[in-house]
Amino acid sequence: MSAAPSQLQSLLPRESLLWIFAAQCAVLLPHMMHLPLWLVAAWCVAVYWRLEVYRGRREIPGKLVKLLAVSLAVAGLALTYRRWFALEPMVALLAVSFTLKNIELVSRRDALLSLMLAYFLAATLFVFEQTIPYALYGILCVLVITAALAAQQGRGSARPKRALGLSAKLLAQATPIMLLLFVVIPRLGPLWAVPQNAQSASTGISDSMSPGDFSELSKSDKPALRIAFDGPVPPPEQRYWRGLVYTHFDGRRWSEPGDATLSWGRGRSQAHQPPEEGERPLPAVGPRYRYQVIQEASHNPWLFALARPHSETPGVRETGDDTLAYKMPVASRLAYQVRSWPRDSVAQDTVLAADERLRHLQLPVTGNPRAREWARQRVRQGLGAEEISAALLQHYHQSFSYTLRPPPLGQNTVDEFLFSTQQGFCEHFASSYVFTMRAAGVPARVVAGYQGGEWVEQREYLLVRQYDAHAWAEIWLPERGWVRVDPTAAVAPERIRDGLQSAAADEFMQDALLPLHRIAFVTKLRLQWDMINYRWYQTVVSFDRERQQGILQRLLGEVSPLRMALFLGVPAVAALMILLLWLKFASRGPRLPPAGRLYLRFCRRMARAGLARNPGETPGDYARRVERELPKLGPMVGKITTAYEKAAYGDSAEAEKQLRRLVRTFWPIRLVR
Amino acid sequence: MSVSRASKSRRGSTPSWQPLFQKRWHRWLDRRLPAAQSVTLDHRKLFVIPSLAGSAFLLVIVLLWLLGTNYENNLVFALAFLLLGLFIILPVHTFANLSGLRLQLREVPAAFAGDYGQAKIALERSGKRSHERLHLSWPPEEGIVADVTDSEPKEVSIALPLVQRGRVQAPRIRIESRFPLGLFKCWSWVDLDVEFLVYPQPKTAGPLPFGASVGEGEQLKSFSASGDDFAGLKNYQPGDSLRHVAWKQYAGGRDLYRKEYASGSDARLWLDWDLLAGRDVETRLSNLCAWVLEAERAQIAYGLRLPGKEIAPAMGPAHKQRLLSALALFPVQGVSQ
């Protein structure tokens, strides 16, 4: 009895230690991809140390060691990240804090802190990825952490089956509340600007194009865009998803506007101030496409849409090049609504500003003499822009072949491609075409994006993958404005119509470890999986204020404070009522047999008459006492008691009936007075 | 309880600060949870609030909501709401873990002042629900933790340090549980009407006062403690000292017998209040208490003389208890020293 007070309450049960480590491990596992390796190692060391303490081989480290560990960790973080206000350092900081906590994990309070950090770290997982597997893994994490929390309650609760079972039960019960809150709780929108994860490598189409870039992309079957149409759908040969316009050529590399030292955003906003709202009115007529694009995280700001796009999704702006851009790099899946007017259907600006014209005629001073000569010849022949274009396309059509494995090119890439190798991929065609057209004095530019797509599930949406990446050209015709020309189509029209797989059947995805795309069943399964992902994204990940309003409107008819209060209040009140009823019945104890209940009624009446039965007093004793103290009641009480004893212990139905009759007519309070 | 509460001495009585609130609280508790030897916990007797851990949990939820809001991340929202859902259903579970538990006072053995008194309490479930991690204590004492998982009543004993001799009315017992996650605590203050009979704290006052008797005008009588004179055999009674068993006879195949030693009619040990003149009342009682224990240990017939009370010499546990009770219940006032 001399144990120090409060130890029983505060000291960590031994079994629960392993649970805490299990929870931390579960949470850390997916984070390992972006956490520095030393941190993971530090966690392992801390856990090892604590387990040694548990086994009694070591002591909890002293102040000096702790101080050393903290300074090492801080130094490590500072060296690894060099800045604090970003997502990764924040996650790392959380991981460091519970790693350090591990070596002094002694009291319940320490355990609690550790587990609360684990919950938070599990949530940050979703900031990086919002896919179904991650969501499922997140549920697993919460299950384990909650089980670890339950395990803090003691030996019995720490048994794996018990802890997990308890945790699963509680979480299952919490789920309906979660669903309700998910739909009902208003989304406020960001309260302050938050740091995005910056260190992720960008994927997909980059801000420049040099030979080989696109054939690299063609090896990836990762989804890039998912597009769902509302209304008419453009025919396959019109599905050009514009993303970037390259105007600057340095002899090998095509890149975004001019000066390579300018960053993408600045270059664009300086060169082409996007027209103010209202300056370029939306065409009122003509066929237009309405669609929603869900873009995978690319870590680049450019978006993809058909020509002449307009979007009203917040954060999306139009550029002067008929493309869309996002206010920041797309760090996670992004959905945006677009309306597009095909260029043929609307009147275009028919004047190209002088500086624009100059920009679109830019060529390196030297290099590729044969291509320049070829162009000059055509100009000398007096051909117009369209005729030169046609001649060039004819040249491609005659002797070029489309391949994913083009021979390497040397210094003069355009010359070599046009006049010697003549085998290439879309980027070679687009690059050489624009070069030659510019050499002929026709303003031209390379457009990069995706072309085509694959329908999923009864044409619900178009799945565009990385291997659909494509580069094509646009030339300026005085009477028509910018006109799309796809030199690849001159060589491999099936690429435009049916996609890469049919255009390069043998070479397609040759490097893939398993040629899964050749098995129809697997392809179907993968499309199914993609559809599940799409639905997941549609219903859960992109659930926003608008959708919330929509759902509430459908549920309530109209979103007013009164109706909201009713919607929330009615289930709450109902739940409360159920709870109260349950309390009433649960605290009543086991239900008595009929005879017992009748006898209790008799006892209550006796109590009102002023002679209550004592706790623990047998009916017989009670009856004798009543007879002694209130002789007037004696005979009746004796009868009732006998009947009760017979009914309760003799199991006699006759006696029970008699007891019922007797109790019904027994009113001691009247008899006593 | 017919006796008014105020008249009984209670441990941990009202601290000087906020006495009004404390008094009201106790009065309210007394009305709501009257003292009884058997109590079944239900919604009228239980209180539930979030524990410190629960507040931390709530803070995590708020932070998650901020994270979700700022990153416009629905999965983070979902997680925050899931935890909030957990937080909403937990008090029900914590409550259910205590509700329906029956506490019954079994036994309150007497104890010495300066020692711990142990109250034996039976914990029993009244329904099918099991009750886990029940923490019973007399704050600020440590208390004990018990699980009631099967239908058999479980007996536990909780300890209360006793300072004063006499009848000590124990304060309310705190029964608390944070099961299942420790985020909420559900508790009750149960008054099982525990009353300790507290003997004085034994304080030795030298050797047993053999032969020393201060009677009114009586002479000192010599007395031989050993009582050498063998007087005969008597049937052994349970509780008799084994030292006095006639082992020789027992080995010879006869029943258990107790050897009786004769002591002269006056050769009896009187533990006399007056022997300890000059000390204060409590010390005298403590000294007498120590003598009683010693005499019983030595298996000497002993009697007790207190002002206004005399208990004839005898031996055995029942006699010892009788004497000790007399010492415990010796009135504090009204004795001229």
Q: Is A486 a catalytic residue?
A: yes
Q: How many CB atoms lie within 10 A of CB A61?
A: 17
At B124 the three-state DSSP class reads strand
Instruction: Specify the pLDDT at position B215.
Output: 45
The residue from A248, A468, A470, A530 that is catalytic is A470
Q: What single letter denotes the amino acid at residue B68?
A: G
pLDDT at A590: 56
Phi, psi of A298 (to 5 degrees): -115, -15
3-state secondary structure string across A392-421: HHHHHHHHCEECCCCCCCCCCHHHHHHHHH
Partner residues linked to B136 by β-bridges: B144, B175
**In this predicted structure, which of A180-184, A424-428, A585-589, B113-117 has the lowest mean pLDDT?**
A585-589
Across the interface, of A182, A194, A590, the residue whose CB is closest to B78 is A182
Backbone angles phi, psi at B140, to 5 degrees: -90, 20
Nearest chain B Cα to A169, which residue? B86
Mode of pairing for the β-strands spanning B111-112 and B195-199: parallel
Find, in chain A, the residue whose alpha carbon is nearest to that of B124.
A589
Which of A110, A125, A153, A197 to mutate to probe the B interface, most B CBs <10 Å?
A: A153
Under 8 Å between Cβ of A291 and A228: yes
Contact B50, A150 (CB under 8 A): no
* Residue from A207, A322, A415, A486 carrying the catalytic annotation: A486
Tell me the C-alpha distance between B321 and A641, whole Å: 41
| Mutation site, A139, A144, A181, interface B, largest B CB count within 10 A | A181
CA angle (B183, B187, B193) in 5-degree steps: 160
Mention every residue, 6+ apart, whose C-beta is less than 8 A from residue A104: A60, A61, A66, A110
Q: Choose, out of B33, B74, B183, the residue to mutate when testing the contact with A (most A CBs < 10 Å).
A: B74
Given A207, A248, A360, A426, the catalytic residue: A426
B178 vs A contacts (CB less than 8 Å): 153
Residue A234 and residue A559: Cα distance in Å, rounded?
37
Q: Do the Cβ atoms of A453 and A468 come closer than 8 Å?
A: yes
CA A295/CA A335 separation, integer angstroms: 6
Q: Which of A181, A168, A172 lies closest to A572, judged by CA?
A: A181
Best to test chain A binding among B82, B131, B188 (most A CBs inside 10 Å): B82
Q: How far apart are CA A229 and CA A239, in angstroms?
A: 12
Smallest CA–CA separation between B289 and chain A, in Å? 23
Q: Extract the tokens encoding A542.
A: 């992109």
* A1 has pLDDT over 80: no
Question: Residue B168: what are its φ and ψ, rounded to 5°?
Answer: -115, 120
pLDDT at residue A506 in the model: 66
Which pLDDT belongs to residue A278? 42
Place of tokens 């979700």: B68
* Cα nearest neighbour of B77 on chain A: A182
Strand partners, A484: A474
Instruction: Answer for the pair A639, A662: CB distance below 8 angstroms, yes or no.
Output: yes
Is the preceding omega at residue B34 within 30 degrees of 0, hence cis? Answer: no
What is the rounded CA–CA span in Å between residue A648 and residue A597? 10
Give strand pairing partners of B160: B117
Confirm whether A470 is a catalytic residue: yes
Q: What are phi and psi of A80, to 5 degrees?
A: -75, -40
What's the CA gap between A30 and A33, in Å, rounded?
Answer: 7
End-to-end CA distance of chain B: 36
Q: Are A174 and B82 within 8 A, CB to CB? A: yes
Of A64-78, A250-264, B9-23, B70-84, where does the model show the most confidence? B70-84
Count CB atoms within 10 A of the CB of residue A99. 24
- Chain B residues touching residue A544 (CB < 8 angstroms): 72
Q: Where are the beta strands (DSSP E) in A196-312?
A: 208-209, 223-229, 240-246, 248-249, 254-255, 289-295, 309-310
**What is the DSSP-derived secondary structure letter of residue A551?**
H
- Contact A127/B89, CB-based, under 8 Å? no
3-state secondary structure of B20: helix
**Residue A315 corresponds to which tokens in the numbers above?**
């954060």
Look over chain A and give the mean of its residue pLDDT values, rounded to a whole number.
82
Q: What is the pLDDT of residues A586-609, one digit of tens each?
A: 655 556 677 888 888 888 888 877
Closest by alpha carbon to A537, among A608, A627, A482, A456?
A: A456
Task: For residue A290, give every residue at least 6 positions away whose Cβ sits within 8 Å of its Cβ, in sequence order, or none.
Answer: A229, A230, A231, A337, A338, A339
For B238-289, the DSSP string reads: TTS-GGGB-HHHHHTT---EEEEE---TT--EEEEGGGGTTS-HHHHHHHHH
| Chain B positions in Cβ-Cβ contact with residue A157 (cut-off 8 Å) | 132-133, 179-180
User: B84, A177: Cβ pair inside 8 Å?
Assistant: yes
Contact A176 B85 (CB under 8 A): yes
User: Which candidate from A182, A332, A615 shows the least CB-CB separation from B38?
Assistant: A615
Report the pLDDT value the prediction gives residue A194, as an integer from 0 to 100: 66
**pLDDT computed for residue A596 by the predictor:** 82
Length of chain B: 337
Locate B177 and state its tokens: 């549980």
Structure tokens at A314: 């917040």
CB contact under 8 A, B88 and A188: no
Residue with tokens 């070829």: A374
Least Cα distance to A474 among A492, A487, A493 occurs for A487
- Do residue A189 and residue B69 have CB atoms under 8 angstroms apart? yes
CB within 8 Å: A177 and B81: yes
Are A426 and A448 a contacting pair, CB within 8 Å?
no
Segment A446-476, tens digit of pLDDT: 999 999 888 887 778 899 988 888 999 999 9
Tell me chain B's radius of gyration from C-alpha atoms.
29
Q: Which pLDDT belongs to residue A525?
A: 87
| Min Cα separation A170/chain B (Å) | 7
Residues of chain B with C-beta less than 8 angstroms from the C-beta of A581: none
**Average pLDDT of A388-399?**
90
> Could you tell me which of B160, B112, B109 has the C-alpha nearest to residue B293?
B112
Q: What is the ipTM of this complex?
A: 0.76
Yes or no: say if B59 and B71 are a contact pair by the CB < 8 Å rule. no
Question: DSSP letters of A58-71?
Answer: SPPP-HHHHHHHHH
- CA–CA separation, B294 and A470 (whole Å): 105
Lowest mean pLDDT among A58-67, A270-279, B102-111: A270-279
Paired sense of beta strands A289-295 and A223-229, if any? antiparallel
Residue B139 gets which letter from DSSP?
T
Where would I find the H helices in A422-560? 426-439, 487-491, 493-498, 500-503, 520-536, 545-556
Contacts of B77 (CB under 8 A, 6+ apart): A182, A185, A187, B65, B68, B69
Q: In chain A, which residue's Cα lies nearest the Cα of B100?
A: A587
Q: Which residue from A6, A138, A185 is facing B75, i.e. has the nearest CB?
A: A138
Predicted structure pTM score: 0.73
- Asked if A589 has any chain B CB less than 8 Å from its own CB, the reply is yes
Per residue of chain B (337 residues), give pLDDT as tens. Answer: 333 333 344 444 444 556 788 888 888 888 888 888 888 888 888 899 999 999 999 999 999 999 999 888 899 999 999 999 999 999 999 998 998 899 999 989 999 999 999 999 999 988 778 898 899 999 888 889 888 888 888 999 999 999 989 999 999 999 999 988 989 999 999 998 899 999 999 988 888 877 655 444 343 343 434 444 455 566 776 666 666 676 777 776 767 776 655 444 445 788 888 888 888 888 989 999 999 998 888 888 889 988 888 888 888 899 999 999 999 998 876 554 4
Structure tokens at B215: 């009677």
Question: Cβ of B72 and A150 within 8 Å?
Answer: no
The amino acid at B298: A
- Catalytic annotation present for A426: yes
Sorted by sequence, the CB contacts under 8 Å of residue A349 that are 6+ apart come out as A481
CA distance B23 to B20: 5
- Cα A115 to Cα B75: distance, rounded to the nearest angstrom: 19
Tokens coding A126: 């979703």
Distance CA A105, CA A154 (A): 16
Q: CB-based contacts of A551: which residues, under 8 Å, 6+ apart?
A: A183
CB-nearest to A5 from B76, B96, B141 is B141
**Closest Cα of chain B to A534: distance in Å?**
15
pLDDT tens track for A518-541: 778 888 888 888 888 888 888 888
Residues 6+ apart with CB under 8 A from A244: A205, A207, A256, A302, A323, A447, A448, A449
Provide the CA B133 distance to its chain's centre, in angstroms: 22
pLDDT of residue B233: 64
Find the mean pLDDT for residues A122-141. 91
Asked if A358 and A443 count as a contact pair (C-beta separation under 8 A), the reply is: no
Contact status of A184 with chain B (Cβ, < 8 Å): no
Q: State whether residue A6 sits within 8 Å of chain B by CB.
A: yes
